[in-house]
Structure 1
Amino acid sequence: MRVITQQSLGGPEVLTIVDAPDPRPLPTEVLVRVKAIGLNPLEARLRAGEFPLLGRPPFVLGWDISGVVEEGALTWRFRPGDEVFGMPLFPRAARAYAETVSAPALHLARKPASLSHVEAAALPIVGLTAWQGLVDLGGVSQGDRVLVHAGGGGVGHVAIQIAKALGAYVITTASRSKRAFVESFGADEVIDYTAVDFTRAVRDVDVVLDTIGGDTVEQSLEVLRPGGHLVTAVADEDARLIAKYEAAGMRFSGIAVDPDPVALRGLVDLVEQGRLRVHVQETFPFERVADAHRLLDGGHLRGKLVLTL
């Protein structure tokens, strides 16, 4: 099979395609013939050496996959020919930038018929991050006021839909150019962060989902109601921030997404109900991974980027 690997840290040009042996599924794993691979900003940071999750090169990036089961080892969950998708093994290396991937069956779900492989590959990391942040940690329920930062991004546009499905009133920050985009996913209120300070425009929020980090995490304290909850996908649960939020009568949580089969099933249910869709800004053939990473490096994407095989 072909895999995309890197021998050194650096820009997109370090990504190279090489031949490698097909992986062999361990007990309770399946071998998946990959049809599409979702790309995430974290992978650009790992490639460049900004975050040491996978250690030193050589390594193979990637977690989000959609494809077809070729074989399994001691698992009843899937059979050859089943179409599946998921985010196996995160945060351990899943080596998903490849033509075939061996993955724990428990970390995959059957691909909804209404989703293409491209759409399915775009969903797992952003969908699980939003679900775990809003449902598991945030406990969002009917009538809550939810602020989603960066609603036009990968996590953001999915989080808007999940919060709406939970019955929340959803406010989001987005640039003016993305206003119609985030409204199309159900945002009730849009704050143009390039023109308006969100801390002056929003009050009495029950849950904030942050995907930006930095000053946004601390500033979000100003918009929460007493007892409100900030959940961030990009900032650690450092003691200072926890203490600051607790002193103000609020809660602070940092989320590290994991391959949760219950949450993955929840995402499938929303897709099948027609309440969740994922936007893919652009697809790239496997061979153009460096071009895809250049676009990933630029940020300000609408939804996701996907490699196709």
Structure 2
Amino acid sequence: MISESSSFIKGVVLGGVFCMLVTLLGHIKVGHGTKAHHHEHHHIQAPNKEDVLNLSEDERVELSKSIHVYCIILVKPKDLGHWAAARETWSKHCDKAEFYSSENVKVFDSVAVNTNDMWMMMRKAYKIAYERYKDEFSWFFLAYPTTFAIIENLKYFLLKKDPSQPFYIGHTVKSGDLEYVDGEGGIVLSIESLRRLSRVLEDPDKCPEHGGMIWKLAEDKQLAICLKYTGVFAENAEDSEGKDVFNTKSVGALIKEAMSTHPQQVVDGCCSDMAITFSGLAPNHMHVMMYGVYRLRPYGHSYSDALVFLPPPGSDND
């Protein structure tokens, strides 16, 4: 009788241990190699204001002058309204901005890539940008014509990042096993990432122009697959409080969401103070953003920022 009771107790204990193991294993994500697991849910944050204030005056000036951003805007003739708005607003704040068009357009200057396919446009734009500017720029920002970017905030975010490292930054999205930067919010590549990309673009097995399953994916997903072969993984960009800084929606859409989810703190719940991009904007909304970001100032308020990112020489930016 005692041995039967002992066996029963052992069974209960072993069963409990087994259940615990199953539960623990259920929470462990199975990755494909150490690198993929290491990069899962990787977040990169902007520097704290205190970090900047701890720098000497000379270091601040040197840093503010050292970050040069080249902007790539992918456009098509049907986007003329957005093209004009981007040209007259935020793109002026890039150290150099060029529009890559699917075809020649007489109205505006552009680099014609002679294809209507977005993945081919992206490939050709990156290839041309690397060949022409690899020795001139350290950071490459790609955007669609419906995106509005605050380049000064992008430079602040990149302040202490090393462009010789393989950075691939923006608003990350997970699709199955693939984590990629959503093109709607803008895509940032360091010069090292672009160097690796330019090399893999020549390998049709890893990064084909067309054919196979990869052709059926959106261009931002295809970019992620090509970069993954080079050891460059998507990194989510956040401010020092953990809020996203690359937004795939407009300010209006984000405020509307915040009103339903954070009615007591709509502004705080909506967006980061250091937001870099907003997307899905109509041309007139871009001009409204330009007014709000660069023109409108509440009298008597002084922000006393420790860094000033001056416009490039010869620029007519606001």
Instruction: Say yes or no: TM over 0.5.
Output: no
TM-score w.r.t. the length of structure 1 is 0.27
TM-score by length of 2: 0.26
Structure ranking higher on relative contact order (CA contacts 8 Å, 6+ apart): 2
